[in-house]
């Protein structure tokens, strides 16, 4: 009791930091100004950190970044407080950006943060420090800025192979595209020079011009593709329209009228061009097979025969003849392309139906066999693509595009497998060193296990790479056998002792949990002795197993009972869930007994906790359903709480208004009584809120009733004075009647006593004056009468 009387509330100005920390703990969350002041000014780091934990203003916490003493903690706190309302100056601070990217837990969050990190060095360092490989790779895949890629390549070298490879390959692609761009610029000038140098009177002008125009068209397409690739890296594209305008116009041919001939070679050329268009169209993806290959060949032969027959009569012009031969050669090439496609597409589909070999998959006996299958499939894809020899001016078939993608996938798989093989070699060297150390330490069990894992690992290596390790492993295996033989000799007594201990447990069991732990401990000790290599050790193992089984029987019975209890608890919880479902569905929530709802929810939670434990797997879904139902009921109850809080807040506001109204205290008291009656009619609300509002309401009531008590006490005192005055007056009047000895001194005494009572009501005061006057007159009369008698 004395300690309570003399104990003091902890103060923020105390010298002891522990007291200041305690003072912070009792502050409300709304005291942000106090937390900010302590965080800025307190001399003790622990006190500042405790204030930092309670701060929820990012601008104040941001100030701590400049203080080395609390910078790390301030940065962590800022990350927990940042939202859409946080100022840009804070969100874009390099330290905040780096920390946010480093701490990003999801790909979406990291991709949203990454564009804001403009400093390449900060970006690469933060990305490398993120512990989640999936996040790192996703951000790297979305990064095309050359400076950022260069920093990633430098930062992740020998630290993160996957991230380093992405940056390295992307930078290599940038360099290759830049080199192609330079070559294309040189080639542009070369083609333009060739087009300008072509003489108009050249007899082969048209053929050469066609070849140059074809090269120019393909060259422009290549330039556009290169610019598109470089655009991802932020490189400004070339003005291809300006480049196109530099190409000289084609010389218009001079038309020389020809004498009429029986064969219209122009019409035959038009038919040839139609055949070429049809052949090209037949190569388009999804084209209909309206004309067979054989029919197309026959049409070509018929047209060639018709041309030759006409040429025998009168040869056509050189230009027309050259054009016809070129078109017919193209038709023949398209026909061959179509014929090859019909032959190779089924083979491509069959090849694409195969899975990409994974050398690490269990279906391969050895890693080497998996690598062989991977190389074989790569060769098959390469050969098939070579056989297609698809023309550049025709869109690729779906199968060809898929083969090229498969080609890339196989190259990636081969690279990953080589990386895995290198990692296996490193692991093999490390495991050999560990085995050698285990042998040196005499750790037989570890040595045996390491030798077994080494042999399994060796099976997965390619034969050529595994050969150097075979000699070392053979030598170490011989030493492991020697250790095992010595262990068998030394461990016989230990195995015997363990058998005796487990038999003792079987004969004199402990409490079930202790019994189980004891059996487990003995089993662990047995396993640490390693495998049973001799007949005697195997006999002891069977003896140990039989005794352990017998010793575990009481535990089995106990755990069965526990399982039955968990099943019973599960049934009870199911009943609770069913009851809550019925209550939630059938209760009239518009006219609910909210106090009853509170009791039901509280009782449901208490019973839910009582029926514990249950099987985790079976109870997880039930628990989720219970929480959903309880949450739904609580949400309805909270709505009622909110309404009741609002009602009681209104009552408190009315009480304050009554208290400040200036009306008579008795009227205020009557009004307060009415509010108290209303208070009782309000439904339930949370205890903390109820206590807070009741404290406010009670404070107003107490003030009014205390004021009324003062008034009532004053009235009571006044009534007592009046009563005392009446008594004195009555006493004086009676003495006048019965006491002839009454004199003026006695009357003066009565007058003094009445005067001591203080101010009297007017009526009482008049009565007192009249009584005193009457008494004085009577006394004077009596004295005069007495004098006459004398």
Q: Do 742 and 735 contact (CB within 8 A), yes or no?
A: yes
The runs of H, that is alpha helices, within 587-681 are 594-610, 616-659, 665-681
Among residues 598, 624, 768, the alpha carbon closest in space to that of 687 is found at: 598
Q: Where a domain ends, among 288, 317, 344?
A: 344
pLDDT at position 360: 64
Q: What is the pLDDT of residues 510-530, one digit of tens each?
A: 888 888 889 888 888 878 777
pLDDT tier at 363, thresholds 50, 70, 90? low
The full DSSP string for 330-389 is: HHHHHHHHHHHHHHHHHHHHHHHTSPPP-TTSTTSSSHHHHHHHHHHHHHHHHHHHHHH-
Considering the domain architecture, whether residues 285 and 221 belong to the same structural domain is answered as no
Chain centroid, CA 742 distance in Å: 105
Mean pLDDT of 479-483: 72
Q: Position of tokens 């195997």?
A: 538
DSSP 8-state symbol, 46: H
79, 87, 96, 98, 118 from 92: Cα distances, Å: 12, 9, 7, 10, 9
Q: Do 324 and 316 contact (CB within 8 A), yes or no?
A: yes
Among residues 411, 415, 387, the alpha carbon closest in space to that of 400 is found at: 387
How far apart CA 461 and CA 694 sit, in angstroms, is 79
How far apart CA 404 and CA 408 sit, in angstroms, is 6
Over its C-alpha atoms, the chain yields an Rg (Å, rounded) of 53
Considering the domain architecture, whether residues 144 and 284 belong to the same structural domain is answered as no
416, 708, 752 from 703: Cα distances, Å: 83, 9, 39
Q: Do 126 and 98 contact (CB within 8 A), yes or no?
A: yes
How far apart CA 648 and CA 669 sit, in angstroms, is 18
DSSP 8-state symbol, 511: -
Q: Where a domain ends, among 321, 344, 367?
A: 344
Token pair listed for 353: 């139906």
Mean pLDDT of 424-429: 77
Among residues 199, 284, 201, the alpha carbon closest in space to that of 248 is found at: 199
Residue partners of 459: CB distance under 8 A and separation at least 6: 366
Q: Do 265 and 307 contact (CB within 8 A), yes or no?
A: yes
- Average pLDDT value for the chain: 80
Q: Do 282 and 336 contact (CB within 8 A), yes or no?
A: no
Query: Would residue 507 count as lying in a domain?
Result: no
Q: According to the per-residue pLDDT averaged within each range, which of 183-192, 390-399, 533-542, 713-722 is highest?
A: 183-192
**Is residue 668 classed exposed, middle or buried when 0-12, 13-18 and 19+ CB atoms within 10 A define those classes?**
buried
Q: Is the dihedral of CA 611, 616, 618, 619 positive or negative?
A: positive
How many residues appear in the chain?
Answer: 790
Query: Would residue 692 count as lying in a domain?
Result: no
Q: Do 301 and 275 contact (CB within 8 A), yes or no?
A: no
Considering the domain architecture, whether residues 199 and 135 belong to the same structural domain is answered as no
pLDDT at position 16: 79
Q: What is the pLDDT of residues 733-753, one digit of tens each?
A: 887 777 777 777 887 887 888
Q: What is the pLDDT of residues 350-361, one digit of tens each?
A: 888 888 877 666
pLDDT at position 7: 42
Considering the domain architecture, whether residues 77 and 145 belong to the same structural domain is answered as yes
Model confidence at 365: pLDDT above 60: no
In 35-140 the beta strands, taken as DSSP E runs, fall at none
Q: According to the per-residue pLDDT averaged within each range, which of 227-236, 707-716, 757-766 is highest?
A: 227-236
End-to-end CA distance of the chain: 81
Considering the domain architecture, whether residues 21 and 122 belong to the same structural domain is answered as yes
Query: Would residue 537 count as lying in a domain?
Result: no
Query: Would residue 525 count as lying in a domain?
Result: no
Q: Position of tokens 């301030």?
A: 74
Considering the domain architecture, whether residues 31 and 143 belong to the same structural domain is answered as yes
H or E segment to which residue 686 belongs: none
Mean pLDDT of 155-183: 84
207, 276, 318 from 203: Cα distances, Å: 9, 25, 9
pLDDT at position 587: 87
Q: What is the pLDDT of residues 258-290, one digit of tens each?
A: 444 457 777 777 877 777 777 676 666 666 566
Domain range for 275 is: 265-344
Q: According to the per-residue pLDDT averaged within each range, which of 198-202, 616-620, 652-656, 745-749 is highest?
A: 652-656
Model confidence at 415: pLDDT above 50: yes
Considering the domain architecture, whether residues 323 and 208 belong to the same structural domain is answered as no
Q: What's the number of CA atoms in the CB half-sphere (13 Å) around residue 71?
A: 8
pLDDT tier at 257, thresholds 50, 70, 90? very low
Mean pLDDT of 638-660: 90
Q: According to the per-residue pLDDT averaged within each range, which of 37-51, 270-284, 563-577 is highest?
A: 563-577
Token pair listed for 410: 């196989």
Total number of domains constituting the chain: 4
Considering the domain architecture, whether residues 32 and 156 belong to the same structural domain is answered as yes
Query: Would residue 207 count as lying in a domain?
Result: yes
Q: What is the pLDDT of residues 622-633, one digit of tens each?
A: 899 899 999 999
pLDDT > 90: percent of the chain: 5
Query: Would residue 610 count as lying in a domain?
Result: no
Considering the domain architecture, whether residues 128 and 62 belong to the same structural domain is answered as yes
Mean pLDDT of 91-110: 78
Considering the domain architecture, whether residues 75 and 49 belong to the same structural domain is answered as yes
Q: Where a domain ends, among 344, 377, 411?
A: 344
pLDDT tier at 3, thresholds 50, 70, 90? very low
Q: What is the pLDDT of residues 320-329, one digit of tens each?
A: 778 877 887 7
Mean pLDDT of 760-765: 80
pLDDT at position 106: 84
Which one has a higher pLDDT value, 375 or 158?
Answer: 375
Q: What is the pLDDT of residues 45-94, one digit of tens each?
A: 888 888 888 888 888 888 887 777 777 788 788 777 777 677 777 767 77
Query: Would residue 456 count as lying in a domain?
Result: no
Mean pLDDT of 297-310: 74
157-161, 379-383, 495-499, 555-559: segment of lowest average pLDDT: 157-161
Considering the domain architecture, whether residues 115 and 38 belong to the same structural domain is answered as yes
Among residues 151, 162, 170, the alpha carbon closest in space to that of 98 is found at: 151
Query: Would residue 339 count as lying in a domain?
Result: yes
H or E segment to which residue 114 belongs: none
pLDDT at position 237: 87
Which one has a higher pLDDT value, 176 or 24?
Answer: 176
Which one has a higher pLDDT value, 335 or 560?
Answer: 560
pLDDT at position 258: 43
DSSP 8-state symbol, 508: S
Considering the domain architecture, whether residues 114 and 191 belong to the same structural domain is answered as no
Model confidence at 255: pLDDT above 60: no
């Amino acid at each position: 009791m004395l300690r309570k009387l003399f104990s003091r509330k902890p103060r923020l100005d105390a010298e002891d930091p522990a007291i200041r920390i305690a003072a912070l703990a009792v502050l409300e969350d709304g005291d942000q100004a106090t937390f900010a002041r302590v965080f800025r000014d307190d001399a003790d780091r622990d006190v500042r950190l405790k204030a930092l934990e309670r701060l929820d203003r990012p601008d104040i916490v941001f100030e701590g970044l400049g203080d080395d003493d609390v910078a790390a903690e301030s940065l962590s706190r800022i990350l927990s407080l940042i939202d859409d309302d946080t100022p840009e100056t804070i969100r874009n601070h390099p330290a905040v950006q780096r920390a946010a990217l480093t701490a990003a837990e999801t790909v979406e969050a990291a991709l949203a943060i990454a564009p804001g990190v403009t400093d390449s060095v900060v970006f690469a360092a933060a990305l490398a420090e993120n512990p989640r490989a999936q996040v790192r790779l996703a951000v790297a895949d979305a990064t095309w800025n050359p400076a950022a890629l260069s920093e990633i390549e430098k930062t992740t070298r020998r630290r993160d192979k996957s991230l380093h490879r992405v940056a390295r390959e992307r930078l290599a692609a940038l360099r290759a595209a830049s080199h192609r761009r330079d070559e294309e610029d040189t080639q542009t000038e070369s083609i333009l020079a060739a087009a300008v140098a072509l003489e108009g009177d050249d007899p082969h002008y048209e053929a050469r011009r066609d070849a140059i125009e074809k090269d120019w068209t393909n060259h422009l397409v290549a330039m556009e593709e290169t610019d598109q690739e470089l655009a991802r890296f932020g490189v400004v594209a070339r003005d291809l329209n300006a480049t196109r305008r530099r190409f000289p116009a084609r010389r218009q041919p001079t038309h020389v009228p020809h004498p009429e001939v029986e064969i219209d070679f122009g019409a035959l050329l038009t038919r040839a061009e139609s055949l070429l268009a049809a052949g090209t169209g037949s190569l388009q993806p999804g084209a209909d097979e309206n004309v067979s290959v054989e029919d197309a060949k026959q049409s070509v032969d018929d047209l060639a025969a018709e041309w030759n027959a006409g040429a025998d009569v009168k040869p056509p012009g050189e230009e027309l003849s050259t054009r016809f031969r070129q078109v017919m050669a193209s038709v023949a090439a398209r026909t061959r392309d179509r014929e090859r496609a019909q032959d190779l597409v089924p083979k491509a589909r069959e090849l694409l139906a195969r899975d990409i070999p994974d050398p690490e998959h269990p279906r391969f006996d050895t890693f080497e066999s998996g690598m062989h299958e991977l190389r074989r499939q790569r060769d098959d894809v390469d050969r098939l693509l070579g056989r297609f020899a698809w023309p550049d001016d025709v869109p690729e078939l779906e199968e060809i595009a898929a083969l090229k993608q498969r080609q890339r996938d196989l190259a990636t798989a081969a690279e990953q497998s080589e990386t895995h093989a290198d990692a296996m070699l490193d692991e093999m060297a490390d495991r050999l060193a560990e085995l050698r150390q285990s042998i040196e330490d005499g750790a037989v069990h570890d040595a045996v296990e390491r030798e077994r894992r080494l042999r399994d690992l060796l099976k997965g290596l390619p034969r050529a790479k595994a050969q150097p390790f075979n000699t070392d492993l053979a030598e170490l295996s011989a030493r492991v056998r020697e250790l095992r033989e010595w262990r068998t000799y030394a461990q016989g007594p230990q195995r015997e002792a363990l058998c005796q201990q487990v038999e003792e447990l079987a004969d004199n069991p402990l409490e079930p949990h202790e019994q189980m732990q004891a059996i487990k401990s003995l089993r662990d000790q047995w396993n640490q002795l390693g495998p049973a290599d001799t007949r005697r050790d195997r006999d002891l193992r069977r003896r140990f197993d039989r005794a352990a089984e017998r010793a575990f029987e009481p535990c089995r019975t106990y755990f069965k009972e526990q399982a039955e209890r968990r099943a019973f608890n599960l049934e009870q919880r199911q009943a609770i869930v069913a009851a809550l479902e019925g209550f939630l569905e059938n209760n009239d929530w518009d006219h609910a007994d909210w106090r009853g709802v509170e009791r039901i929810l509280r009782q449901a939670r208490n019973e839910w906790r009582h029926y514990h434990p249950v099987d985790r797997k079976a109870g997880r879904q039930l628990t989720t359903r219970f929480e959903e139902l309880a949450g739904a009921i609580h949400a309805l109850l909270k709505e009622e709480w909110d309404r009741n809080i609002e009602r009681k807040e209104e009552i408190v506001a009315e009480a304050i208004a009554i208290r400040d109204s200036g009306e008579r205290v008795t009227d205020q008291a009557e009004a307060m009584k009415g509010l108290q009656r209303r208070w009782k009619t309000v439904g339930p609300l949370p205890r903390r809120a109820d206590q807070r509002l009741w404290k406010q309401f009670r404070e107003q009531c107490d003030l009014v009733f205390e004021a009324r008590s003062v008034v009532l006490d004053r009235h009571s005192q006044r009534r007592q004075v009046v009563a005392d005055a009446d008594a004195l007056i009555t006493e004086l009047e009676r003495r006048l009647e019965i006491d002839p000895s009454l004199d003026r001194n006695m009357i003066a005494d009565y007058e003094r006593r009445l005067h001591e009572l203080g101010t009297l009501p007017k009526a009482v005061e008049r009565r007192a004056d009249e009584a005193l006057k009457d008494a004085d007159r009577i006394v004077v009369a009596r004295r005069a009468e007495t004098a006459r008698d004398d």
